[in-house]
Chains A and B, each alone.
Chain A
Amino acid sequence: MTDQQEWPLWEIFIRGQHGASHRHVGSLHAPDAEMAIKHARDVYTRRKEGVSIWAVPSAAIAASSPSKKGPMYDPAEDKTYRHPTFFDIPKEVGPM
């Protein structure tokens, strides 16, 4: 058991029927990209959740460090003027 190699981990992104962008739905193990798509189809689209699947090797994802949470995000806290809620958005623009 101990020397058994695990399949690499993949992050799965799915675009729903009406969704405009792919969303992260979870991760799974697969030997290669093609099987990752197949597994994603079987694991995450059983209830017609999606019309498009992306699989990304988890190792390829660069993540921010949880320990730097303070300096990374706190400074944005008191800068309400960065929210675009002060503007009237014309209807023609559509959803943003």
Chain B
Amino acid sequence: MSGDKFEFLLRMGDTTLILGHRLSEWCGKAPVLEEDIALANTALDLIGQTQMWLGLAAEVEGKGRSADDLAMLRDAWDFRCALLVEQPNGDFGRTIMRQYLFDQWHILALGALKANADERIAAIAAKAEKEVTYHVERSADLVVGLGDGTEESHGRMQAALDLLYPYVGEFFDTDAADQAAGFDPASLRDAYDTALTATMAEATLTLPDSRFAHKGGRTGQRHSEHLGHLLTEMQWLQRAYPGASW
């Protein structure tokens, strides 16, 4: 039972960790200074949430590992992040589309989790929800602005949606690990679809018909090849200089 809850906590923490790292890759390179700072802020919010999720995961596991150990000293097959957040940044439009597709799920998930029977989970969700309320407002605005923008930006956003939408389905599979934590992501799908449909309509973008979904990230069965490359960069310092700190 505690093993399953550990799995669930890894899913939350690994997903925010990997997306936070992906966003940090934009630091100093975003199209405009204002977006550069906004992306870095979001990255830092997600890393902060990671500390809480993985900190609790380490506590629940009870093997003396810390959040840092979990983040920096596991290999790809032990990660439980959703496939969506492993996907490379691509152009700015693709990064924003990935962000919105995640944020929209994230806000609904946190809304459900803040009523969790485990007070520790509820507390993390309540704290993260404030940050994510802003994330989703921002990313939805940008999806609308770019989707309903120029021919160029519209084309890029539609391409990003077509590419990334197949990674959405995975978020809504409820299994034993989710149930052990009293979390039922499948129950969020209707609200997600309603929000997505409204945003994409405003953005003049077309949601793909197919519900085909890549799976295996949250269960750890099959990550994309991108995760290993990301970890190589993210974990390099701790691997090369074990225990190094500020």
Interface residue ranges, A against B (CB under 8 Å): 7, 28-31, 34-35, 38-39, 41-43, 46
Chain B residues with CB below 8 A from A42, complex form: 34, 37-38, 41
Identity of the chain B residue whose Cβ is nearest the Cβ of A40 in the assembled complex: B34
Which residues of B from 10 to 37 have beta carbons under 8 Å from A?
32-34, 37
In the complex, are the beta carbons of B32 and A29 less than 8 A apart? yes
- CB contacts (< 8 Å) of B33 on chain A: these are 28-29, 43
In the complex with contacts A28-B34, A29-B34, A43-B34, A34-B141 CB distance below 8 A: yes
Q: How far is the CA of A42 from the CA of B40 in the complex (A)?
A: 9
Contact B34 A30 (CB under 8 A): yes
Query: Which of A28, A29, A35, A41 is close to B141, meaning CB atoms less than 8 Å apart?
Result: A35
Q: Cα distance A31–B153 when bound, in Å? A: 14
Contact with A along B29-68 (1 / 0, CB 8 A): 0001110011001000000000000000000000000000
The complex places the Cα of A94 from the Cα of B37 at a distance, in Å, of: 40
A39 touches B34 (CB 8 A): yes
A38 to B141, Cβ gap below 8 A? yes
Q: Report how far A43 CA is from B34 CA in the complex, Å.
A: 7
B214 at the interface (CB under 8 A from A): no
Residues of A within 8 A of B37 (CB): 42-43, 46
Q: Are B34 and A31 in contact (CB under 8 A)?
A: no
Interface size class on chain B is: 10 to 19
B32, B41, B134, B141: the one within 8 Å of A7 (CB)? B32
A29 to B138, CA, bound (A): 16
Complex Cα spacing A8 to B113, Å: 41
- Closest B residue, CB atoms, query A45: B41
The closest CB in chain A to the CB of B142 belongs to A35
Bound together, the chains give a CA A7 to CA B31 distance in angstroms of 12
Cβ–Cβ contact A39 & B38, under 8 A: yes
B186, chain A: closest CB distance, angstroms: 33
Point out which of B34, B38, B137, B145 has the most chain A C-beta atoms below 10 A from its C-beta.
Answer: B34
Are A38 and B41 neighbours in the complex by a CB distance under 8 Å? no
In Å, the complex CA distance between A35 and B137 comes to 11
The 4 closest A-B pairs by CB, nearest first: A39-B34, A42-B38, A42-B37, A42-B41
Task: Tell me the complex Cα distance, A30–B142, Å.
Answer: 12
Q: What chain A residues lie within 8 Å of B137 (beta carbons)?
A: 38
Residues on A with beta carbons closer than 8 Å to the beta carbon of B134: 41
Instruction: Check if B38 sits within 8 Å of A31, measured CB to CB.
Output: no
Query: Scoring B residues 124 to 163 as 1 if CB is less than 8 Å from chain A, else 0, what string do you get?
Result: 0000000000100110010001000000000000000000
Report yes or no: B34 in contact with A46, Cβ–Cβ below 8 A.
Answer: no
Given contacts A7-B32, A29-B32, contact A38 B38 (CB under 8 A): yes
B41–A46 touching, CB < 8 Å: yes
Q: What is the minimal beta-carbon distance from A1 to any residue of chain B, in angstroms?
A: 12
Within the complex, the shortest CB–CB distance from B231 to chain A, in Å, comes to 28
Give min CB distance, A57 to chain B, whole Å: 15
| Residues of chain A within 8 A of B32, CB atoms compared | 7, 29
A38 B138 Cβ-Cβ under 8 A: yes
> What are 13 inter-chain pairs, A to B, with CB distance below 8 A?
A7-B32, A29-B32, A29-B34, A30-B34, A35-B145, A38-B38, A38-B137, A38-B141, A41-B134, A42-B34, A42-B38, A43-B33, A46-B37
